[in-house]
Amino acid sequence: MLPRALLSKVILKPSVSLFQFNQQRGLHSRNKKAMEFIAKGWNALKEVDRVIDYCELNDRRLIPLLNTAKENFELALEADNTNTHARYWLSRVHMKYHVPGANKAVAAALLVEAAEMGDPDAQYALGCHLRVENDYVQSDQRAFYYLEKAVEQLHPGALYLLGAVYLTGDCVKKDIASALWCFHRASEKGHAGAAIAYGSLLLKGVKIPESIIKFSLKRGSAAQKRGKNKESIAIDPVEMAKEKFQIAAKSGCDLGFKWLARLEEEEKRLLTQEY
């Protein structure tokens, strides 16, 4: 039994005050309301993206949808000014679409704010924008900085782009192992381009880094034990490449289907030669 004095202290002195509880409840309520507005705005943009390829960019029939998206993202920020998703999507509306009242300066400011607040989509988008040549700032270094921040949160687009940077040695030291790691992690998140890049590099004979082999074995991918001791565990590069092409094909990428067809033809050719 606990002493009565100690029991009274536990009961009378809660770890969270009533004021703190109300404050947290208020934050949760504002965030929930903001997310509802973001969902409405995102649905409107989704409808725009669905039909925009079949009409002019400034088609007046798109204006009601664009206004709906813009207003809902603005309402989301009013409901919760700390919401990074609202900042990112509002910047996207201002920057990409012909919405009435669009302002590139506002878009840039919102995008930088969202990136600095840790939103991975904003960090990736800002990194992409800074990759454009700029005579007045060291844009490549800043782009690399934001891309790395997005990569830390395993953003698939940022992983793919950083992998391409490492592969080509553009503004960084060429590092095939780092490129493969980026492509591998991006493909695991369904990025078709990364899956194609990784699979094609494997078929060209690029050596798989040990870190990826260990990671893949833990995940139970196309691994085969060869030999009697545990140190002889290896991965069949052709089987892993096939897995990557299947990821690309699953996302609807034509190159994924073409690579799978080529592998199937090669397997048939080898079988006929054996017999």
| Confidence at residue 33, expressed as pLDDT on a 0 to 100 scale | 92
Last residue of a domain, one of 150, 179, 213: 150
Last residue of a domain, one of 150, 172, 205: 150
Shared domain check, 269 and 203: yes
How many independent structural domains does the chain possess?
2
CB–CB of 147/170 below 8 Å? no
CATH number for the domain that contains residue 60: 1.25.40.10
Residue 272 has pLDDT above 60, yes or no: yes
Residue 187 has pLDDT above 50, yes or no: yes
161/115 Cα distance (integer angstroms): 17
pLDDT tens digits, 200-218:
999 999 988 887 877 766 6
| Confidence at residue 24, expressed as pLDDT on a 0 to 100 scale | 56
CB–CB of 222/239 below 8 Å? yes
Shared domain check, 174 and 98: no
Q: What is the pTM of this model?
A: 0.77
Shared domain check, 101 and 55: yes
21: in domain: no
193/233 Cα distance (integer angstroms): 28
145: in domain: yes
Residue 139 has pLDDT above 80, yes or no: no
Shared domain check, 272 and 158: yes
Shared domain check, 181 and 273: yes
Q: In the predicted model, what is the mean pLDDT of residues 68-81?
A: 95
Helix or strand or coil: residue 231?
Answer: helix
Q: In the predicted model, what is the mean pLDDT of residues 65-76?
A: 96
237: in domain: yes
Helix or strand or coil: residue 36?
Answer: helix
Tell me the pLDDT of the chain averaged across its residues.
Answer: 83
| Confidence at residue 242, expressed as pLDDT on a 0 to 100 scale | 93
Q: Which residues of 10-25 are buried (b: 16+ CB within 10 A; e: fewer)?
A: eeeeeeeeeeeeeeee
195: in domain: yes
| Confidence at residue 2, expressed as pLDDT on a 0 to 100 scale | 42
pLDDT tens digits, 97-117:
999 999 999 999 999 999 999
Q: Which residues of 49-66 are buried (b: 16+ CB within 10 A; e: fewer)?
A: eeebeeeeeeeeebeebb
Beta bridge partner(s), residue 225: 233
Last residue of a domain, one of 97, 128, 150: 150
Residue 116, domain extent: 29-150
Shared domain check, 258 and 165: yes
133: in domain: yes
| Confidence at residue 27, expressed as pLDDT on a 0 to 100 scale | 60
| Confidence at residue 12, expressed as pLDDT on a 0 to 100 scale | 43
Enter the tokens of residue 128. 């992409």
Rounded to the nearest 5°, which phi and psi values hold at 233? -70, 130
Shared domain check, 274 and 158: yes
Q: Percent of the chain, pLDDT > 90? A: 57
Please list, in sequence order, all residues whose beta carbon lies within 8 angstroms of the beta carbon of residue 44, skipping any fewer than 6 positions away: 65, 66, 68, 69, 72
Encoded amino acid at 108, one letter:
A
